[in-house]
Chain A
Amino acid sequence: MSTKTQNNHAWWLVLPVVLLVAFNAVIPLMTVVNYSVQETFGDNVFFFEGVRWFQDILASERFHDALGRQFLFTAIILAIEIPLGVIIALCMPRKGVWVSVCLVLMSLPLLIPWNVVGAMWNIFALPDIGLLGKTLNALGFDYNYTREPMDAWFTVIAMDVWHWTSLVALLAYAGLTSIPDAYFQAARIDGASAWSVFRYIQLPKMKRVLTIAILLRFMDSFMIYTEPFVLTGGGPGNTTTFLSIDLVKMALGQFDLGPAAAMSIIYFLIILLVSWVFYTVTMRNED
């Protein structure tokens, strides 16, 4: 016969975690869910609307456009930052004093507050006084990011690449330096070319850190707000209005709390879904 004492008091030990999770995630999220099914005209008076806001958002052309711009932006910066970060990591020295110098220089952009990055590039790219803008115009390009959508996109992308490629490079570098020497020795014995070494040793060994890098850059760039807001304010027109800028316009500019809440939830689910699909697909062959 079992002499084990049944004592459920231990459940109380979980309480602090439950409270923490509740206040930091569940309750705020539920507030949003609450708003997303109601309409308000102020005075704290709410009317139940069911799934109407969700239907509206999903059918709205404005949302489709912002979502399209968002995917395009994220795809472009991933296509630039990931290969560029890997190339930089491959070029970085493995030992000696230059390692620390490189690491510090690489980390600098990551330490600058996001709105400062936006402000820096705003001035840097001004066609009349900014170093970049003035140089481009002097070289004969008709460059004006406040007027031309293509120029605005170019500037936003250049800014993001400048700000975040270091993160990819540092992660890739960490992955590269953790590869044991024996692999490179064996590759030399096997007569492998530099490309083979990259393709069959370095790239597979970097797979995990690169997965993390892609996920982080995907999530961050998909939620990008501060830098383009400070740089272009979503313009010219709506050409650099990404999802979060649009969301803030809707929630605070128009005070449409219901549709904004519904949009937040859809936005959140898209990020969750893409991240999950990506992670599952890349990791399906791992042991």
Chain B
Amino acid sequence: MAGIHLKDVRHSYLAKPTRDEDFALKKVNMEWEDGGAYALLGSSGCGKTTMLNLISGLLNPSEGQILFDGADMTNASTEARNIAQVFQFPVVYDTMTVRQNLEFPLRNRGVPASEIQQRVSNIADMLDLTERLDTRAAGLTADGKQKISLGRGLVRSDVNAILFDEPLTVIDPHLKWQLRSKLKELHEQFGATMIYVTHDQTEALTFADQVVVMHDGMVVQTGTPVELFEKPLHTFVGNFIGSPGMNVLSGTQQDDRVVFGGEVIDSGSWKAHLPESGEFEIGIRPEFVTFSEQGIPARIETVHDIGRLRIVTVTANEQPVKMVLAEGVPLPSDSVHISFKPEKTGLFVDGWLRQQGASA
């Protein structure tokens, strides 16, 4: 087991990258603590898989260093790094039985036979594969094959880290819950560092203690689920986490103040952070927008009832604003005004949070 440190790592799939866009992974500094359960969250193509392959050694970074407990592993082989990785789509050795598949990574490392047998039967039990241990792996369904892939990763109990690259994509929904809780169980049992890549926020939030959000080749935020919700450092995090995502609105600057729909959002504390171009955005989560007696004049457009909550879309300052209302809260009928909870309102410049909690 080891803590993994990515130091100024950049990676490009091109031979001679020149521009910033050539990099699949742009300048990443990231500390994965020993024994942590991490979720790596982000949309497709944001560099999640690249990050995993760099950690496991399937790729060598174009620039930067990778340290395991301080030891330089930047150019070490996959073998030397001792990392397990489970891929998105099942990989099984067709000609082997399920048992031989599970034994394979242990045999390759010369683990004694008695230990192999014990570990394989443990893992097979956990994954409900015991009855099929002696059938040919090629005959299993996609579900079953992915369980074998998972099993080949989990059977190695002495690994530095286990990386999961969207491992449950091909698995049935009811099995997903089951397997995810088993992974969590295993994590508590063995304490290996686990990094779980997904683009499903529910999956990320239920699995991990720490969620790492990636966007466009960068790590934009690392934090607990609550931190990501309450203080998104980037509009992407605001949008990606939470349903519906954060409102990103354009306001105007009047002298020292920031104004939205005729109402002062900030009376001066943001001024130092406003760029010269005057281009900035105001971020506010739908949960922190409320109807009020006075405030920003608005017009109700649509109301969606989603069970215990209602999502109301209003138009204010000619922009759509989403708000979340609890069941039973009456909707105002005629003159509608909304207001933003000041300490939850953020100033974003170029997508990044500059200042939160405007003084009222």
Contact = CB atoms under 8 A, between A and B. Distances in A.
Interface of A: 180, 182-183, 185-186, 188-193, 196, 200-201, 204-205, 285, 287
A191 B138 contact: no
Given A182-B89, A185-B58, A189-B85, A204 B152 contact: no
B82 to A, nearest CB: 9
B221 interface: no
Interface string B40-56: 00000000000001001
A200 B93 contact: yes
Nearest to B59: A185
B109 interface: yes
Of B56, B104, B139, chain A has the most CB atoms within 10 Å of the CB of B104
Contacts of A196: 108
B35 interface: no
A190 B58 CA distance: 12
7 contacts: A185-B87, A188-B79, A189-B84, A189-B105, A191-B105, A200-B93, A200-B96
B123 interface: no
B37 interface: no
B95 interface: yes
B85 A192 contact: no
Contacts of B79: 188, 191
Contact of A190 (B53, B95, B105, B136): B105
A193 B56 contact: no
A186 B149 contact: yes
B83 interface: yes
Interface in B69-103: 78-79, 83-85, 87, 89, 91, 93-96
B104 A190 contact: yes
Contact of B83 (A189, A192, A200, A285): A189
A204 B87 contact: no
A191 B95 contact: no
A193 B108 CA distance: 8
Contacts of A285: 136
B91 A182 contact: yes
A193 B78 CA distance: 12
Contact of B108 (A185, A191, A201): A191
Interface of B: 53, 56-58, 78-79, 83-85, 87, 89, 91, 93-96, 104-105, 108-109, 136, 138-139, 149, 152-153
Contacts of B105: 189-191
Q: Please provide the 4 A-B residue pairs with the shortest distance between their CB atoms, ordered closest to farther.
A: A191-B108, A186-B91, A190-B105, A188-B78
Contacts of A188: 57-58, 78-79
Nearest to A193: B108
A196 B101 CA distance: 12
A191 B58 CA distance: 12
A183 B109 contact: no
Given A189-B56, A191-B109, A182 B93 contact: no
Contact of A189 (B78, B89, B95): B78
B192 to A, nearest CB: 14
B87 A186 contact: yes
User: Most chain-B CB neighbours within 10 Å: which of A186, A196, A205, A285?
Assistant: A186
A188 to B, nearest CB: 4
A200 B139 CA distance: 16
B94 A204 contact: yes
A205 B96 CA distance: 13
A182 B87 contact: yes
Contacts of B58: 185, 188-189
A205 B89 CA distance: 17
Given A182-B87, A190-B108, A191-B105, A200 B152 contact: no
A201 B57 CA distance: 20
A177 B62 CA distance: 26
Q: Which of B105, B136, B149 has the largest count of A CB atoms less than 10 A from its CB?
A: B105
B325 to A, nearest CB: 46
Contacts of B136: 285
Nearest to B81: A189
Contacts of A186: 85, 87, 91, 149, 152
B119 to A, nearest CB: 14
A204 B100 CA distance: 15
